[in-house]
Structures are given as structure tokens and as C-alpha cells.
Structure 1
């Protein structure tokens, strides 16, 4: 594992086996002169290039935690997995699964920086969003977001899971940051009710974080890349509906 620079670093999340989007983001991070990366999970589940993605991540030395789909790849029998988890599982060797198993669900990177996938206590809960009974994805009230941070040490709290790039400043001055999704800019879910999460762009997304005199400066970067190979892999895995997601960030 490489040294971590807590003053300036990149945050990525939710690759979902999109290795071409990952390579584009890693190239952009290098172009920014950034050496340190925090990866917030959901690495390999997706109907694309799970093995390729695993190989890149395992060789990278970046700080990684485990997401809910990573956990399901380890906990569920193959026949019980969701379809995108099963596509990924069938590509992976035991050493890839062992790497996933070695990852913690959360990480205290420094006294000032905490990382989780969903919330500090759940990898399946949205931290900064709430789903209405009608399926609308709305900003979660700030008091509820702050309540999830009770007892967590750090002024910068990192999360992923919703694939939506967002920053929220809490009443006590702490920052909650979601870097968006590297490899899956739109999806649907049926928990707690059916809803769509759509970013409206096919670009691979991540965040750059820098500690300044007055607090945390954060910036989202949307990186264009060619998704055609990933789309063909998804189609070959019987997931043609991923094409509009990868090209436009909308669920068709």
C-alpha cells in the first residue's frame, strides 16, 4: 500500500466492473498530479470486466473499503446472487475474492478523514438522499444526515453507494462527500420502493479533495471515455439495458 497524502487526494467509488471508466479516471487523476486515492467500494459487481477491474485495483496500492455488492459476492451462494453480481462472480478467481474479503467495511484514514460505503453503520443505506413513498430520490434532511455521523471522528466523512456526486456541510462544520460513480452513472433499485438514480451524464465521475486554511476544498471531475467495449461486454452478458446508462446516465 502506497503512502497516503491527507492534504490532497482523489476519492472514487462504485466502479461496478467498468474497467475502461476506471482507467480513464486513473489517467485523469495522474494528470492532476495526485498520488493518493481512496476507493469507497462496489468494485467488481457489474456485467462487464470484473476480472480486469480487480487486477487493476489489486495492483494499485490505493486505500479501498468494501461495498454492499462486494459483500454480497462473498456472502451469497452463486445461485442466489443478483444477475450483475453473478456475472462478476463467474469471472473471478479465489485470489480476487480473498482480496475483497481483506477489505474493511469502513476506514478511519486519519483523525480527520473517515470513509464508508453507505453510512457509518450500513452499506445499503443512502446517507445524503431519501426515497419518498412515490419513488422520488430527494435530498435527505440535514439533521438526519448529521445524526448518522454521531460518534464518528473526522471533519471529512466520505461515502458512496448512491452514485450521485454531492457535498453536504453539517451544522458542526463537518463535510459529507460522495464522489459519484466511476462506472455506473444510472441504475434502478426496489428498496425501499422502486426508484431511479440518474446522473444525466455518461462521464466517469470522481472527486478531488484538498485541505486548505479554511477547511476542505472539493471538486467533482467528470471524465469522458469510450464506453463501447463495456457496452458490448454487458450485451454479451445479457444486459443490453446498460447501454443507455453508460452512454447517457439515464435508465431507458
Structure 2
């Protein structure tokens, strides 16, 4: 069984189209989106529509939930004001039909691997779409997060950082981000590199599993073009992170 995972498209349609085209070429048996679909990018409705057309199961992410119930942070700092200004604009673009699609997203998705084992999909962690599971998370932290979860494969997004690691009896996967992947410049500052991230899981048995972290190239010039053509606020600041190392 081949399962494709992608996450955190964040209203970036060119990157979403690049990732979905690459996933289609991989011919997976199942595709799952791990949430944060429309918000914080120049084409929220178009990105949501592209994923809806795919017809795959979608997990509810923290920004998906925010779109349904915007709650500005009181006394927010400059960065939070930036994020919430863009997200408020994105939420305002969504129609009632769009929001109905968001409400259909699920807190978690359990995939039957065909032999009694399970792949558990979530956004941040099994217990919260705000919680982060990281490569550097301790086994003790993950013991608390996963508790008695029996799934032998667990997958989430949220951190925008691709990862595969072992925890106890399971593999934990993060496919990275389609719409806003993170990388570090030589000076240690983060930027958005010119690719969309996703993952492929090839499962035959607990003893025969392969996880591939994948990248699909994206056209940054196209991202710039559609962003400037939109009326998304603070577009110049949003685009500033799409630069070279």
C-alpha cells in the first residue's frame, strides 16, 4: 500500500498544484491532507477548491479552525499582528460553502493498513492541532503525547519541517509543508525555499515499511505574480521570506 501525505498548503496554489501533480505521478493508493489548507496565503479559496477536487480526507488544522472562528490575540506583538492580518483577510474571502468544507475536516484520521495495523493522521498531535511533534522531542514528551496509542505509524504536520523518527514501536512522520516550507540560511535565519514538500509511505508489513520525504520544485516567480495580483494585505512582507539562502 502506498499512501501520500501532504500538509500546510496555506493558500499557496502554485505550490499546491506542484505537489499534487508530483503525488499523482507517484500513483498512491490513498492521499491524505494533514490540514492548514487555505489560510495565510494569497489564494485561499482556490487552494481549498483544488484539495476539495482531489476528494481526499482532510484533517482539521489550527488555521482551518481559526478561519471558522477568528479570535484576534489581544495585545499582540508585531509578528502576531502580521499573521492575523493576513489570516483575517483569508477568512473574509471564504464563502459559506467554503466554510462548510472546512467544517467537514476531521480531528484525526485512522487508516487501516490491511493487516490490523493503523496509520494515525492528525495536524499537530493526536491531542491538539496546536501541539508540535518534533525530531528533537524527547521520548518522554512523546510518551505523554501518544499515551496508549496503538498505531504503528503516526503522521502530522504543523511544524513545516519534514521529519521521520522512531518512537517506541512506531514511526512518526511529518511530510513538511507544501505552501510554506522552512529552511535556514547560512546566517541561521529562516526562509521559504523553492519547493513543496510531501511524503510517501510504502507499507507491506511492520517489518517492510519505507518512508520517503519528497520535494517538488515550485515556480517562485509565479508565487510572486499571484501574490501581487491579489489584494492580500502585507503582501510584500509575506513575499520577503521567498528568497535564496
TM above 0.5, one fold? yes
Q: Which runs of 5+ in 1 are unaligned?
A: 1-6, 130-138, 188-195
Instruction: Map 1:52-63 to 2 at 5 A.
Output: 52-63=46-57
Provide the residue aligned with 2:137 in structure 1. 140
Gapped regions of structure 2 (runs ≥ 5): 75-82
Cα distance, 1:77 vs. partner? 5.8
Q: Does 1:231 align with 2:224?
A: yes
Q: Does structure 1 residue 184 correspond to structure 2 residue 180?
A: yes
Partner of 1:193: none
Aligned match of 1:125: 131
Q: Is the 8 A contact 2:192 2:243 kept in 1?
A: no
TM-score normalized by structure 1? 0.81
Deviations 1:93-126 (A, max 9, x none): 1101011011111111224111110011111111
Whether the 8 Å CA contact 1:184–1:245 is kept in 2: the answer is no
Structure 1 residue 168 displacement after superposition: 1.2
Q: Is the 8 A contact 1:65 1:107 kept in 2?
A: yes
Q: Distance in 2 between matches of 1:245 and 1:215?
A: 39
1:205 aligned to 2:207? no
Q: Which residue does the alignment assign to 2:121? A: 115
Q: Could you tell me the TM-score, scaled by structure 2's length?
A: 0.83
Give a deviation string over 1:136-157, Cα, whole Å, max 9, x none.
Answer: xxx1112312331112231100
SS in 2 for 1:205: strand
Which of 133, 154, 159 is the equivalent residue of 2:156?
159
1:205-228: per-residue Cα shift (whole Å, max 9, x none)?
000101134242101111111122
Q: Which of structures 1 and 2 has the larger relative contact order (alpha carbons within 8 angstroms, sep 6+)?
A: 2
Indicate conservation of the 8 Å contact 2:191/2:241, yes or no: no
How many pairs align? 225
Instruction: Give 1:11's match in structure 2, choosing from 5, 15, 18.
Output: 5
In the other structure, the counterpart of 1:241 is 237
2:110–2:119 Cα contact (<8 Å) kept? yes
Q: Measure the CA separation in 1 of the matches of 2:149 and 2:20.
A: 29
Aligned to 2:22: 28
Contact map agreement 1:185 1:246 (CA 8 A) in 2 = no
SS in 1 for 2:20: helix
